[in-house]
Amino acid sequence: MTIQLEGKKIQDQDQFMVPQTNAFGHNFRDYNNAQSERQKGVETFYKTQHINQTYDFVKKMREDYTKLDKAKMSIWECCELLNDVVDDSDPDLDEPQIQHLLQSAEAIRKDYPNEDWLHLTALIHDLGKILVLPKFGGLPQWAVVGDTFPLGCSFDESNIHHKYFKENQDFNNSIYNTKNGIYYDFIGLENVMMSWGHDDYMYMVAKENGTTLPSAGLFIIRYHSFYPLHKNGAYKHLMNDEDEENLKWLHVFNKYDLYSKSKVHVNVEEVKPYYMSLIEKYFPAKLRW
């Protein structure tokens, strides 16, 4: 099958073999196995996230970080900063984030060799996780990682650990707790306030710094953690036609984002020249963060 999108083609690929278990020997995105300390920590993370990610909180974060006044550096410099970041919300991997980025990018590069924008999107999609570092605000992990979801409307039950939303101040707010809330059908996701984290931050950085990545690349960066949408089909009533087209590329990307996680490391110095050439093609030398 071939999907035409913005002059590019999406083809079903047979090369990428989806593994049956993650790096710990469990099913991928298994949030119900409470046998390990890591799984217990993941649930605690989501409880904290669901209670604290409110519409007012996200509005404040966006107002602060849209200033892009935390640093000025290149994309690759940011990649190197991720050596100090481990994602506490991820039940599938506890490796430094730069390895996850390169594993995703290299897997996509193998199956989609002509879509260099997609390779670069994979490399940078999680760079926003630098928000946990002191220089970028030192935000708690619940304000940086984990599945994302809309604010300003009801919390769909497909959200992981949905029960903890009952302690969120927006849960009983009559303005927010209907299906549409403050939105209307087909409003377009760009007009929807998403929970704050690395996705929205990196989207903001890329867009405001004038990236030439196609809209599908920006869509992937902004919504790759929006699992209620791209895994469960929730919130589709808020999407417009452009969202529907870009979602096709996000579905392609998601397979590699989720299933390429491995304890086998990519040789950074070996692949660096290729990704440096893509960075130069699609981004300025220095970006405001």
Per-residue model confidence as pLDDT tens digits over 143-190: 999 999 999 999 999 999 999 999 999 999 999 999 999 999 999 999
Judge whether 160 and 44 are in contact, CB under 8 Å: no
Residue 257 assigned to a binding site? yes
Range from 70-74, 81-85, 112-116, 237-241 carrying the lowest mean pLDDT: 81-85
C-alpha 41/C-alpha 36 separation (Å) is: 9
Evaluate if residue 249 carries a pLDDT over 70: yes
C-alpha 215/C-alpha 90 separation (Å) is: 27
Judge whether 108 and 256 are in contact, CB under 8 Å: yes
Residue 11 or 271, more confident: 271
Q: What is the per-residue pLDDT for 28? A: 44
Judge whether 120 and 217 are in contact, CB under 8 Å: yes
Residue 96 or 25, more confident: 96
Residue 38 assigned to a binding site? no
Residue 29 assigned to a binding site? yes
Residue 50 assigned to a binding site? no
The pLDDT confidence band at residue 97, using thresholds 50, 70 and 90, is confident
Q: What is the per-residue pLDDT for 261? A: 60
Q: What is the per-residue pLDDT for 39? A: 76
Residue 87 assigned to a binding site? yes
Helix 268-282 to helix 97-111 angle (10° resolution) is 70
Residue 125 assigned to a binding site? yes
Evaluate if residue 1 carries a pLDDT over 50: no
Q: What is the per-residue pLDDT for 60? A: 98
Evaluate if residue 6 carries a pLDDT over 80: no
> For the chain, what's the residue count?
289
Residue 262 assigned to a binding site? no
The pTM of the whole model exceeds 0.75: yes
Residue 88 assigned to a binding site? yes
Residue 210 assigned to a binding site? no
**Model confidence pLDDT, tens digit, residues 20-42:** 443 334 444 454 555 567 678 88
Quote the DSSP letter at residue 133: S
Evaluate if residue 93 carries a pLDDT over 60: no
Q: What is the per-residue pLDDT for 17? A: 53
The C-alpha angle 21, 42, 29, rounded to 5 degrees, equals: 30
Q: CA 289 → CA 67, 209, 218, distances in Å?
A: 8, 9, 16
The C-alpha angle 211, 187, 210, rounded to 5 degrees, equals: 10
Residue 129 assigned to a binding site? yes
Residue 198 assigned to a binding site? yes
Query: Structure tokens of 266?
Result: 């990519």
The pLDDT confidence band at residue 12, using thresholds 50, 70 and 90, is low
